[in-house]
Structure formats: structure tokens, C-alpha cells
Structure 1
Amino acid sequence: MATEYSSTLLNSYLFPLSQSQESGDGTPSDDQYFSDDEHGHSHFTRGGDTKQMKRYAEELLQHERSTIQVKPDDTVIITPHLPQLPNEILARIMHYVLKPGPGMYGRDNRQIDQQLDLCTCTLVNKQFYAIAYPLLWREPVLELGRTQLQRINDSLATKEAPPVGHYVRNLRLDNQICNDTELLRLMPHIPHLETLSIENDTDNYLPLMTSTSLQQLPHHCPHLTSLTLWRIDLSEAALRAIGHHCHQLTDIDFNLITDLQDDFLSALSHCPLKTIRLCHMGERILLTETLVLEMTKKDLTELHLTIYEPSGLIMKIANKHNKTTVVPCWPRLQVLNLECCDGIDDATFIAFIKTHPDLQVLRLDGANLTNASLDAMAVSLRGLHSVMFNNVNGISSGGVRRWIQNCPRLVFVEFQQCDQIVGRDVLLETDNDVLRGFLKLKKHDIFKIHRAQGTGNAHG
């Protein structure tokens, strides 16, 4: 298309010149124009001054990306080149293609539609291909069915330079398409993998992925920075292998189906963990001092505990640590999500947040807090923007409204089963039918409360 366009443009300029170079008796002069040859070259000959001819051609093509060559017979060959978009423009196009759509969360959650769009981009031209192809393989999207996984394994095994698998950075697998055998086949081809998520579906009868393959994973994929293992029977040997090889691992998300020794995090002592998410399937698991002390050895920014009790031990040990050192346990902690918080009272909570002022997201379940803790949050946690309280019965509607008015960065607040909370007493325009104890406020709701500050309409 670009060559045809260039030829058309040249014709529009050069044909008038040939028509105007007629002799006085109407016969054509020696000037001639020949249309494009099969290679897309434009030929223009003239019996006059070659230098003047070349200058004229250059002026005509000042807006075209073309090469001009003058041959010994005075033929000027103009070779148009396909214009290329700046790489910055292509980067913006790819950013738009990969932009998460409604209902999609996180930068590593690519959908099949995005993958198909990237595939289309590789077909545009060589420039698009060079940029889109590595992105296409950066995060292969696997639909349910092992046939696709087999095809990907076959593609990864082909001899290319560089190998296709060297592009792969993010991968999500579940045992509906992958078992130990297939994972072992896959791992040698993806040495630069950074993010891996593996999930077993315990509700079906397919073979589960086990520590048999996971124990080999770190040897083949030592550059892992994020590892998610859901419903996995994780062995101590697999953990030791991860800790031995993966010295860049910063994020773990373990949903375990069997018990581990309470010092299992010591196997990851060489991993610079920043985020720890631990959940246990089935019965509640005792949170021990040994496990918490292992956590305090990490410079965490996020800590999530589900079905580990008593989670109040986290704050009690952290407070005890802070009394003996000037550096808090987790000076950069931004996200704290704890279930089973019965042991957290005002004194414990207030002492903790005073030494962890960078908290931005807070979720507590079952804490014994009152309005005093809300007032302390307004003073100590100036960057707090999202709060979720469940079964926190000592706080009142008036305390919540006052707290919101004093927290300028809040954008989301949710209360569930908090007995004293009455929605219309916090946000006066709330529907009267909202259940007592339940309240969800988003950014526009919080803005209304800030705007109405000082009206004296809150109930205590």
C-alpha cells in the first residue's frame, strides 16, 4: 500500500512536467517519465542537466522517505521506503492492547482477547512483529484443555534464535491442563520465568500437581520473583529447593492443604521476601511465635494471613520487638490483612500503627477495637486509603464519620457485621433499607462526608 501511494504521488508531480516539456510544434521533448517497475522503483529520464534533474526530484520528494540514484545514462531511480511509525507510538499501541478491561485486575492477568489482539499485531508488518511477538510470548494465555498446552510445549521445543521460551516471563497453570509430567516437560524451556501461579482443583479427579515437579522448578527457573501455589501439598524439600535457587523471590502466595513445620519460612531465608500471603485449607491453624519471628526477619510491604490464629500475635510480637530496637519490624509495611484478630485490642493496635505509619490498606476480622482506635488511625496513618473491618463491634457510626472526616486520603471503606454501624448516621443520604452493621463507602461517598464536615449531623 505504501509503495502504491508513493507511486501515485510521484505520478501527480511528474506527469505535468512531461506534458509541459513539449516543443513549440507540439511534439514531445526528450524528457520522459516511466512508471514503476516490478520492484517499486520510479524511473525518470531527461536529456538536460542531470544535477538540476536530481535537485528537482529531491524537492518533489521532500515529504517522502525515498532514495534517489542517478545512473550513467542519466536515468534517475527513486526508491520509496515504507514509512515507519516511531517506536514510541507502537509502544502506546501495545499499551492500549494490553490495557486491562472492566473486571480485570492486576498487570499479570492477561485475557484471551488481549492475546488474540497481540497476535493480530504481529501480522501488520515487520516492525509490529518485532515488538508484538516478544509480548505475545511474555505471558502465554492457556485456555482449558491440554491440547493447547501440548502445542505450546511443542513450540517451545523448536529450534529458534532466540528460543521462544526465553520470552516467557509470566505463566498461570492449573491442573485441568497441567500435571507433574507436563510441568517437568515445560520448565526447561522457560529459564527466565519471573511470575508463576499454579492451582490445583481438588474438586475433580485429575492428577494433582505435587512437590515431585515443584522440587525441580527452582533449578530450571531461578529468576522467579513471584510464586503462587494454591491447594498444593508443599513439601519441605520443595521449599528448600526454592530457597536455595530463587534468590530474587519477593512475593509468595501459599494456599496449603497440609501442615508444615512452624519454621518453614526459614527455608526461604535467602529470599528477599516483600509480600507474604498464607492461607490454610480446612481447619484453622495455630499461628506460633516461631512462624511470626521468621516473618519479622523480612522487610515486608504486604502481609496477609487467612485461617491462622491468633493473628493478634503478629502485633503483640511486633510491639515487643519495637520496645527493644529503634527500627520497627516492618518499617515499609503498606498492606495488612488479618483474620482471627480476637486478641487485638485498642492498646495493642494503637501501639502497632504508631510504629508502622506507612500502612495504606488495612483489613481486620474480629478485632476488639473502639472509636479510640479510629481516632488513633486518623493521627498515625495519614496515607491510609482503604479499610475493611469485619465483626468489629466496638466502633460507632459517629466515630466512623469523625474518623473519615479526619482522613483526607481515604477512597474505600467497608464494614460488615459491625453491630453499632448505622449507614444513614454515617452517610446521611444512605438508603434506610441498608442492613444495620453493613456499610460500603466509595470515593464519591467519602467526598460527601468530607464536604459536609462540621455540619454536626453525625450521631454518636
Structure 2
Amino acid sequence: MNHLARLPNEILVSILTTVIPDEDSYWTSEPMYSWGTVDPRPSIDNKIRLYQCALVNKAFYAAANPLLWRQPINETDQMNTIAEDTQSFLRCLESSCRPAFLVHQLCHLHVGDSDLLKQMVPFMPLMEPLKTFSMTGCHGWDTGPAKSLPPLSLGPTCTRLEKVSFWGVRFGDPEFVALTRWCGSVQDLTLEHCKEFTATALHAFLDTSRTCLTSLKLAQNTWTGSSLTPLHLQQLTSLTLDQCQGVDNAFFGGSRFPLLTECHIKACPVDFGNAPETLLDFLRAHPLLRSLTLEKCKINNAALAVLGPDVLPNLSDLDLSNNGPALSCHLLRQLIKTCVGLSKVNVSGCSVPSRNFPELERWSVRMGGFALEDIVKIRNSNITKVFTADDDRIREGERDYLPEIDLSIYGIEEDLGPDDDDGSAQVEGGSPWI
């Protein structure tokens, strides 16, 4: 700490505010910022400038350098990584007289381009401190025998990996074997659109990681249900299964994860409408749940009725999207009023009439969701009407209309067709959160 103590206070403050944001905030499933706002995370260009400044002072260099390279790659949003950022980092490595020292500071690394990935592979044996590795859409990577896939290269040296994420990459049994053998401390595993591995490989990995794995996300495979057992996932706090054909009612009838706080089931072949007792048993076994997603799970009024504070005392976020029409508005109102911790409910794609929530004064016909301010209004409302099944249906002639928007502020000339006499646009659904 002596080199830090000798630094001028202004420089130390600059290092702390520019280079050291909260590490965990980088690696969450939700974006840190909204559209139209400035990304609060420091850019790679700022880091490079600070690195260049640090070269003029040994004390500054010693203090700043390990922090500069902890996470060299910055993303503007979840869907699009900036390849130039990675290239900038590689240029610094190639021009440095001590590339091994720079790489050894890496804790988090994301790669989203196959060409950049090939350039990073030679440095991977030096990345012993690496804690987080994610790779997105590197379809062009050569899987021939002359090439070593990144997970295989990571394995022998990156034994400290805690979070691993692959999206749309060639990830097969050899890669799973490498993770199972070398990376026994992985706490968070995400595999999306990776279909080349088998149930046996996943089962072996889960068996090895059962004492430390706390978060698991799998998307689009056919056999997930048979690979996940309560014995494997006793420490699991977050589970996401998206379009996993092996996950059905039987899976929820026998699976118990005592520490689970987040459960997201999306478009799996689950039918809770015909088996609400299965849903009830599963929820009763997981009273710690704070966030619950049941998207396209055939939720009807019978399944909706089992949701309540006695079953989900800690629930704060509920997603029931795309479960079809005619959900009971009366049951929804009761759920919102009685679950005191509830702060967000998503019912987009459920055709819930907004006229059954008059206190919210919605202009759209269908409700998309309830934000915290909506929930507060419903709880404070003195409306006592009991809405019937007829009230729950979207009536003939009811359509959502978008409000008139002055397109000129966006530099767009409005072109009215022959049928657009009033200048309004008609849509079938409406915004899901309006």
C-alpha cells in the first residue's frame, strides 16, 4: 500500500472513480442502464489513456496497472459487443514488453468474434487469475485437430473460473470434460444455443460441481430434465430453463432446490393449467423464491389461484407472459393486493383487459404489466366490483390505438396512406408495458 500512499490524492481518486466500478455489476443478467442514458461503465479508451499516463510514473504504474486489466473489454449493451475494444486490448498486449504481466491481471474476459478469439488463445495459458469467461457467437472457429478450443485451453490454467457463459458456440462433450476436470469451482454456468454436448457430459459436470454451482441457465436442448437432479443442485439459488424440451410436469413434481430464490421457466412443455397441484407442490417446496417466471406454461385461472402470500411469502417479481387470454382480473387484483412484497408483474401476451383496472387509466386495451406505482394504486384503490369471466374477455371491436406522435422531432416525414384519415396507427397488441 506504500505506492498508493505516495500518490497525489487527485490521481488516486481518478483511479478509483474511473477504473474501479463494482465488479459484480458487469456480470448481471439485466442491463445496467436504459436506452437513451449514458453507459456509466468506463470505456476501454479511457483505460488505455490512463495506462499510457501510468507509464511516466513507477508508483502510478504499480497502482493502476493491475486495475486497468482486470476487465479489458467493455460492452455497450447485451446484444452487441464492441470488437474494437478487444482489438485495443490486443494491441496493448502486442506492444508491451511484458505481455505476460498484463494478461496475469485479467479477472473477466468476454470474446465475441472468432478472429479475436484466435488471437487470444496464445495468451490463455497465462490467465490463471481469470474468474469469468464468456463467449458469444464464434461460429467461424476452426474445430479441427490442429486447433485447441478455448475451453480446452482454459482448463489446465484457469482453475479459478467462477462464471462461464457460452452463447451460440460449438460446445461439445470435450469442452464439458475440460470444465469438469479443471474448473471445479464454477458457480455460474450459462449455455444458450449450444446443442453439441450430450446429457452424459452435463450430468458429469453437475455431479462434480454440485457443492458450488449456484446459478444455472440452459436454453434450447431436448434432454435437460433427465440431467438435472436434486442431488446435483442442492446449492442452486438461480435456475433458468428456456425452451428445454425435456422439462415437463414430471420434472417439477420431483425437483426440490431448497435455496432457490430465482426460477425462470420459459416455453418448456409444461402444462400447469391441467395440473395446478404440481405447481402448488413445487412452489410450497421453495418458499425463498423472490423472482418467478412462468412464460408459456399454460397458466389458467386454476393455476393462477395457487399463487398467493401463503405459498410465495417473499415474491417480488412475477412474469406470467404469453399464457393466453382470459386470465381472471379478479384473481390478479387479489394477488397484487395480498402479496405485499410484489413490485412487478408481467402479463404481456395474456390479453388482460385494461378496463378492469380503471385506477390505472390506461389508454391501451390490453394490460402489458404492472410496475410498482401501478401496484400501489391497486392496493390503495377502493374499487369493490367483482369482475366476471365475461369482463375478462377482450370484446369485439376493442383495439389498441397508438397515440399521435410528432415524428418531425425525429426527422421523419409522416406518409399517410389512403386509409389513414385520422393519422393514427392501429396495432393488434400494444406495448407490453404501457
Is the shorter-chain TM-score for this pair beyond 0.5, marking a shared fold?
A: yes
Hey, what's the Cα distance between the residues in 2 that align with 1:94 and 1:138? 9
The count of aligned residue pairs is: 353
276, 285, 293: which one aligns with 1:346: 276
Q: Please tell me whether the aligned partners of residues 219 and 241 of structure 2 are also in contact (alpha carbons under 8 angstroms).
A: yes
RMSD value over aligned CA atoms?
3.5
Provide, for residues 56-106 of structure 1, a one-character-per-residue CA deviation record: whole Å limited to 9, x for no partner. Answer: xxxxxxxxxxxxxxxxxxxxxxxxx98647979974675569888xx9825
Q: Tell me the residue number matched to 1:311.
A: 247
Cα distance, 1:405 vs structure 2: 0.7
Q: Please tell me whether the aligned partners of residues 165 and 189 of structure 1 are also in contact (alpha carbons under 8 angstroms).
A: yes
- Write out aligned runs for 1:212-251 (5 A): 212-251=149-188
Q: Tell me the residue number matched to 1:423.
A: 354
Q: Please tell me whether the aligned partners of residues 349 and 368 of structure 2 are also in contact (alpha carbons under 8 angstroms).
A: no
Q: Does 1:169 align with 2:107?
A: yes
Q: Please tell me whether the aligned partners of residues 341 and 365 of structure 1 are also in contact (alpha carbons under 8 angstroms).
A: no
Hey, what's the Cα distance between the residues in 2 that align with 1:148 and 1:172? 14
Q: Does 1:258 align with 2:195?
A: yes
Cα distance, 1:445 vs structure 2: 1.3
- Write out aligned runs for 1:138-217 (5 A): 138-141=70-73, 143-145=82-84, 147-148=87-88, 150-154=90-94, 158-159=97-98, 163-179=101-117, 181-202=118-139, 206-207=140-141, 212-217=149-154
Q: TM-score, normalised by structure 1?
A: 0.66
Cα distance, 1:129 vs structure 2: 5.2
Hey, what's the Cα distance between the residues in 1 that align with 2:167 and 2:106? 21
Q: Any unmatched runs of 5+ in structure 2?
A: 1-5, 34-38, 75-81, 389-434
Q: Tell me the residue number matched to 2:372.
A: 443
Hey, what's the Cα distance between the residues in 2 that align with 1:96 and 1:207? 33
Hey, what's the Cα distance between the residues in 2 that align with 1:308 and 1:365? 13
Provide, for residues 205-246 of structure 1, a one-character-per-residue CA deviation record: whole Å limited to 9, x for no partner. Answer: x44578733222111211100111111221212211111111
Hey, what's the Cα distance between the residues in 2 that align with 1:83 and 1:183? 36
| Secondary structure in structure 1 of the residue aligned to 2:229 | helix
Q: Tell me the residue number matched to 2:411.
A: none
Hey, what's the Cα distance between the residues in 2 that align with 1:396 and 1:385? 20
Q: Please tell me whether the aligned partners of residues 211 and 233 of structure 1 are also in contact (alpha carbons under 8 angstroms).
A: no
Hey, what's the Cα distance between the residues in 1 that align with 2:40 and 2:119? 22
Hey, what's the Cα distance between the residues in 2 that align with 1:244 and 1:251? 16
Amino acid at match of 1:319: G
Query: Per the alignment, do residues 132 and 119 of structure 1 end up closer, same or farther by CA in structure 2, a change over 3 Å counting?
Result: farther
Q: Does 1:337 align with 2:283?
A: no
Q: Please tell me whether the aligned partners of residues 224 and 247 of structure 2 are also in contact (alpha carbons under 8 angstroms).
A: no
Hey, what's the Cα distance between the residues in 2 that align with 1:310 and 1:427? 42
Higher relative contact order (CA 8 A, sep 6+): 2
Amino acid at match of 1:366: K
Provide, for residues 257-307 of structure 1, a one-character-per-residue CA deviation record: whole Å limited to 9, x for no partner. Answer: 434322322231222211111113xxxx43355213277544211111122
Provide, for residues 16-41 of structure 1, a one-character-per-residue CA deviation record: whole Å limited to 9, x for no partner. Answer: xxxxxxxxxxxxxxxxxxxxxxxxxx
Hey, what's the Cα distance between the residues in 2 that align with 1:207 and 1:296? 32
Q: TM-score, normalised by structure 2?
A: 0.70
If you compute each CA radius of gyration, which structure gives the higher value, 1 or 2? Answer: 1
Hey, what's the Cα distance between the residues in 2 that align with 1:297 and 1:207? 32
381, 386, 408: which one aligns with 2:340: 408
Could you tell me the percent identity over the aligned residues? 20
Q: Any unmatched runs of 5+ in structure 1?
A: 1-80, 322-328
